[in-house]
Chains A and B, each alone.
Chain A
Amino acid sequence: MKLRQRVAMPRGAVVRKARATLNAMAAAALAVVALVVMGLIVVVGGAALWSLATGPGDVAHGALYAPVVLASPILLLWAIQGLADVQRARIRLTAGVEITTPSTDNRRWPLGPWRSVTTWRALAFHLATVGIGGVGGAAVLACWLSPVLVVAWVLAWHLPYPVLIASEFIALVLVVVAGRLAVLVTGWDLWLARALLGPSRNEELARRVETLAQSRADIIKATDAERRRIERDLHDGAQQTLVSLAMNLGIAHNTMTDAPEPARQAIADAQDEALVALAEMRALVRGLHPAVLSDRGLDAALSGLVARTPVPVRLTVDVPSRCSPSVEAVAYFIVAEALTNVAKHSSASRAEVTVTRDGDQLRVIIADDGHGGATPTTDGSGLRGLAQRAASVDGTLTIDSPAGGPTTITAELLCGS
């Protein structure tokens, strides 16, 4: 997502300069308006405060000035925020640049927003723009109007004709410069607006992180859904067809009792091959997504997994309420991969899998009494894959596997539900 969207500027230097001029003058006008409005509030509020402090102190006096004193910070806040909105609208309209409105942190009125850095940045903009937008815009206007101003000046002071000619010449140079100056002033104006009216760097990063986290979660969810879909398709399609094929070959083998022996042998071989294909398909489908996981949760899915592991495994699952499907899948595949490692590489005689949920945290521990020495860089150990799986749901994976063993792999995941 782009934070600022640049609306295409119309092509052509003349148009560009005209727009810049418009923007610079609008900036100048608004700078003055802002200064006047805020100044009035401060002056009136200050005067009321002064009167309250130095006045006679009777009830009527207090009743007159106290509300003014109390109202002025609120009015000033309104002015600062309202004017900031107006300035952003002005930049969108005249410069064609979208400045994202920073969050106001949802702080509570009337004084909460005063603690927000956004408010002070907006105030800083209103003050700084007097120098940049105000003076700059005025200068641009003066340059454009210089030929007229020169005539007025010469006529007012009854200066000689050659002075008029010379001055008009200078004025023409100023007119030529005016467009460039407007572009320059608009550049400074935009720089200032981006720095002070847009989201701060922290806020921008925070938004970015939020967006990335969301899009990553979406991708993981979509990937999970896709794996489930493929699993379903294979189960309903290829697997059933293979079963049917093996069954028909079985029927053929049984009924063709008087067929020549080579034919019967070929049918028997074909049947065996169909069964091998079926077994391979089953392993593949299970690796995609175990249906029992969606259906009965981690305990049931891990029970099946543990039961298929050649090494004896003690399984303890204490998860009172289920985690999100993505996290359950990550936990399942971490245990699956870890137990595959135990069986393949560790020479362990037994292993222990413990899954507990503590608040929002799901802790998965796989321990074995093998020879240890497992590191994420060990080829084919799949430990890197485990760490990546854990990281994909903001989890962590710790591997404690000194040479000589034992090995303990701990995954800590956020349940997300």
Chain B
Amino acid sequence: MRVVIAEDSVLLRAGLTKLLTEGGFEVVDAVPDAEALLRSVTAHTPDLALIDVRMPPTHTDEGIRAALVIRRQHPSVALMVLSQYVEERYATDLLSAATSSVGYLLKDRIAHVTDFLDAVRRVAAGGTALDPEVVAQLMVRHRTDPMDRLTPRESEVLRLMAEGRSNHGIVEALRVSPSAVEKYVTNIFAKLDLPPTDVDHRRVLAVLKYLQSA
């Protein structure tokens, strides 16, 4: 799996390179800013780009903008965006352009090495990885939506699904029976008009559809 890293901090760039290499990825390039990232993606066409949101020259949202450009020009490149803080607006921008092979995580998550590498693999394989905090912000932002069709319990289940939890994980988190969770999930799919296809992908679609419904 070939990866390009864009991160302006020298320390983290080296750390991420080491981490991904040890995790079995091939880091083909590690660059310090968005412009170099775009050049590098064009040159290497990696499987995944790992992108810091805040990079030179303006230190605002270069990473998000670069991610959107990459998605438009090289749709095959998976995008994993990392940030010190999550912004609802950045997440909306990112998710409006990409509903698969996309991730947006707080940098804190890197610390849990195994989970982080799993998330990177999931995104590279076409899945999604949204930070619990991203999901929470998006859900909160839309919870006052009058079009709200989900019950509070269903919203909660949807939130846990968005974080990437399995039914088993949701059972543990909510302390309810597995059959109850299955019922909630089925209700959510039904309310969001999602036909039964590939199960894992449908879970992500459910979240994105819900978020985009507002």
Interface residues of A (CB under 8 A from B): 232, 235-236, 239-241, 243-244, 246-251, 253-254, 271, 274-275, 278-279, 282, 285-286, 291-292, 294-296, 299-300, 303-304, 306-309, 312-314, 350
Contact = CB atoms under 8 A, between A and B. Distances in A.
Contacts of A254: 113-114
Interface in B76-97: 84-90
Nearest to A232: B59
Nearest to A252: B113
A248 to B, nearest CB: 7
Given A243-B111, A304-B86, 19 more contacts: A232-B59, A236-B8, A236-B59, A243-B84, A244-B12, A244-B15, A247-B19, A247-B113, A248-B15, A250-B110, A250-B111, A253-B113, A254-B113, A296-B87, A300-B89, A307-B137, A307-B138, A307-B140, A314-B144
Given A251-B19, A251-B22, A303 B89 contact: yes
B107 to A, nearest CB: 5
Which 6 pairs show the lowest CB-CB distances between chains A and B?
A246-B111, A295-B60, A307-B137, A300-B89, A240-B9, A250-B113
Contacts of B89: 292, 296, 299-300, 303-304
Nearest to A303: B88
A292 B111 contact: no
B61 interface: yes
B179 interface: no
A349 to B, nearest CB: 12
B112 interface: yes
A313 B143 CA distance: 9
Nearest to B85: A282
B202 interface: no
Contacts of B90: 292
A331 to B, nearest CB: 17
For B58, B59, B143, the residue with the greatest tally of chain A CB atoms inside 10 Å of its CB is B59
B12 A243 contact: yes
B82 to A, nearest CB: 9
A292 B53 CA distance: 11
For A250, A294, A296, the residue with the greatest tally of chain B CB atoms inside 10 Å of its CB is A250
A326 B195 CA distance: 51
Contacts of B16: 247
Interface of B: 8-9, 11-12, 15-16, 18-19, 22, 54, 58-61, 84-90, 107-108, 110-114, 116, 136-138, 140-141, 143-144
A133 to B, nearest CB: 64
A394 to B, nearest CB: 28
B141 A303 contact: yes
Contact of B137 (A235, A299, A308, A350): A308
A251 B113 contact: yes
Contact of A243 (B58, B107, B140, B141): B107
B88 A307 contact: yes
B141 A307 contact: yes
A296 B114 CA distance: 34
28 contacts: A236-B9, A239-B84, A241-B11, A243-B107, A243-B108, A246-B108, A247-B111, A250-B116, A251-B18, A251-B113, A254-B113, A274-B111, A275-B111, A291-B54, A292-B60, A294-B60, A295-B60, A296-B87, A299-B89, A300-B89, A303-B141, A304-B88, A306-B140, A307-B140, A308-B140, A312-B140, A312-B143, A313-B144
B144 A300 contact: no
Nearest to A294: B60
